Amino acid sequence: MDICTVKTEPFSDQICGTSGLRKKVSVFKQKNYLENFVQSLFNSLDGFEGKALVIGGDGRYFNARAIQSIIRIAVANQFGRLIIGQNGILSTPAASHLIVKREAFGGIILSASHNPGGANGDFGIKFDTAQGAPAPQSLTDKISEKSKTIDHYWTCDMPNIDLSVIGEQTIGSTVIEIVDSIDDYAEYMQTIFDFDVIRGLFKKGFKMSYNAMNAVTGPYAKRIFEDLLGADSGTVINATPLPDFGGLHPEPNLTYAKTFVDMMYQDNAPDFGAASDGDGDRYMILGHRFFTSPADSLAIIAEYMDTIPFYQGRVYGVARSMPTANAVDYVAQAKNMPVYATPTGWKFFSSLLETHKIALCGEESFGTGSFHLSEKDGIWAVLCWLYIIATTGKSVQELNEELWQKYGRVYNSTQNYEGLEIEPTKEMLLSLEKRLPALVGETFNGLTVTQTGLFNYTDPVTGEEATRQGYMICFDNARIFLRLSGTGSSGATLRVYYMKRETQAENMKQNAVDYLQSLADVAVEILHLEKYTGRNKPDVIT
C-alpha cells in the first residue's frame, strides 16, 4: 500500500450549514470535491492519529463510493481503526451511540437527512465528535476555512473494501472493521425501555404501521418493532433502504408522506402510525385519523418522561429550538424544570445535554432526543410513544387532547418556500430587518404587534455566540418566526413558523392550518413576499 499526495485546488462553496455540508450529488461527484472536504475536516482536528473513526450513512446514492474514498484518506491520515456499518449503513442515532460505545475519536455520517436521494438528488457529510454530538460551530467554521486554502490531500493506493462482510482486516497500520449496523443500537434501546411492557401492548391486539420510506430505519424498525416487540409481520413498510428511497421524499410530514397520512385516516387504519426520515433522526406520529404536531409530541414526551424507569429522577430540564412552538414550556413550568430556547441545529443542544442542564430536547422538524444520545433519535421517540400508550392505555388523540385541556392548545404550523432565488430572498429579509422596530404597535388582521427582533443566542455552557438566527414578530398570545434554512442543497428555502395559544376548550379542535391562516396572511403582507419572490403560497405546510 502506497500513500499518495494528490495536488488539488479549493472549491469556494464548501460552507457548512446547520448539519454539515449538503449539496447535489452532481456537485459531490466533481473531481476532488469530496476528498477536499474530508481532508479539510482532518486538517481541522488534532490528535486523531491511531484513534478510531466511525463511518456510515443512510444508503443514499453515492454513499458506497464516498465511503471507499473516505477509507483511503483516513488510512493515509493514520487513523488507527475504522469502524464501518455493514454495507455502509448506519442511522445517525446508531452512529452516535457507536462512537460513544467504542470510545472513537469521532465519526463521519454520510446523509442529507430528509432531502431527496438518487442520482439527481442530494448528498451530505457531517462529523460527530467523541461525544457522538454534531460538530460545534467553531469546528464547522474551521473546516470551511481550511477548505478555502487546501492544495493537496493524502490518499492511498488500495483495493475497495468489501463492506458486506462483517469482520476485520488490516491495511497498513489501520484496522478496518465492518460491524452489524443494528445490534448495538437495538441492545441499547432495551436498556432504556421495558420491552415487556410494550410487547404487552401488541399482545392485546394493538396495531401499528411504521413507514421507513425506503430509508435507513427499515432494518432497525423490523428488528425492534417486529422481531423484538412482536408487532405483526408487515408492520414496517417501505423497509428496504434504496439509493433513491424508491422515489419517496424521505421527510416525514403531511406533504411528503401524504399517502401514508391518508392511509391512517381510513376506517380500517391501525391504532398508531409513525414514519421516519432519510437518516433516522426525525419521525412523525399519527393516531387513527389524528396528526400530532412536533411541538405537541415533544410536550407529551416531557409530560410522561419521568414514568419511564430509565429517566426517573433524571429529568433535569428541557430545551426546544426557538422556531418550535412553546407547548413544552407549559409542561416544564408545571414540573418546575428550566426551559432553554436555542437556534435551529442539533449541535446547539449538545452542551446542554452533556452538562445535564436538560434531559429532553426537540425541534420543529420532528427531531427529538434525550441525554441517552447526543443526536436526535427517531426510533427512540417512537418507543417513547409506545411506552406511554402502553402504560396509560390512552390513544394518540386522547394524549393530545389531554395535553390541550391541561395547558391550553398551542396551535402551530410551518410553511416552507423552497427553491427561491437567493438574492431577492436576502433583499426581502434585509428590508424586513430594517422595518422591524417600526412594526411594533401596528395592527394586521386584528393582531397588534407587541415585539419584534432578531434572535441571537449565547450558549450558557460554552459561551459561544450564534447571531442572526431568525426574525421574530410577536403578538398577544401569537408569534411569527422566520429564517433561511441551512439544510438545503440549492437555492434558498424560507421557513416561516406560526404559533398561537388557545385556552378556550370549544376552540381546541380546529384544523391548525385553518386556525392559523389569518396569521399566515399577516406574514405574507409584512414580508411583501410576492413582490420579492413571486410566491404567495408555500411549497410545504406541516
**Which of 218-227's residues contact partners 24+ apart within 8 Å by CB, and which partners?**
219/89, 219/181, 219/182, 220/91, 220/94, 220/181, 220/182, 220/185, 220/186, 220/280, 220/379, 221/276, 221/379, 223/182, 223/186, 224/186, 224/189, 224/379, 224/383
pLDDT band at 296 (very low <50, low <70, confident <90, very high): very high
pLDDT score for 498:
96
**336-364 pLDDT tens trace:** 999 999 999 898 999 999 999 999 999 98
Strands (E), 305-351: 318-321, 339-342
pLDDT score for 345:
87
Q: Do 157 and 6 form a contact (C-beta atoms < 8 A)?
A: no
Provide the 3-class DSSP secondary structure of residue 358.
coil
Percentages helix, strand, coil for the chain, rounded to the nearest 5?
35, 25, 40
Q: Is the model's pLDDT at 488 over the cut of 80?
A: no
Annotated active-site residue in 91, 113, 209, 489: 113
Distance CA 525, CA 515 (A): 18
Which domains are delineated in the chain?
2-181 (3.40.120.10), 185-407 (3.40.120.10), 409-541 (3.30.310.50)
State yes or no: is 113 an active-site residue.
Answer: yes
Q: Is the model's pLDDT at 491 over the cut of 80?
A: no
**39-58 pLDDT tens trace:** 999 999 999 999 999 999 99
Phi/psi at 80 (5° precision): -85, -30
Q: Is the model's pLDDT at 487 over the cut of 60?
A: no
Q: Poorest-confidence range of 223-227, 446-450, 482-486, 502-506?
A: 482-486
Distance CA 104, CA 55 (A): 11
Q: Do 276 and 217 form a contact (C-beta atoms < 8 A)?
A: yes
**493-514 pLDDT tens trace:** 999 999 999 999 999 999 999 9
pLDDT band at 17 (very low <50, low <70, confident <90, very high): confident
C-alpha cell at 407: 395547558
Residue bearing the bigger pLDDT, 19 or 512: 512
pLDDT score for 40:
98
- Percentage above 90 pLDDT, the chain: 92
**312-338 pLDDT tens trace:** 999 999 999 999 999 999 999 999 999
pLDDT score for 490:
58
pTM assigned to the model: 0.94
Closest C-alpha to 207, from 367, 412, 396, 374: 396
Q: Do 343 and 459 form a contact (C-beta atoms < 8 A)?
A: no
Closest C-alpha to 295, from 147, 512, 15: 512
User: Strands 81-89 and 174-179: what pairing?
Assistant: parallel
| DSSP β-bridge partners for residue 175 | 81, 170
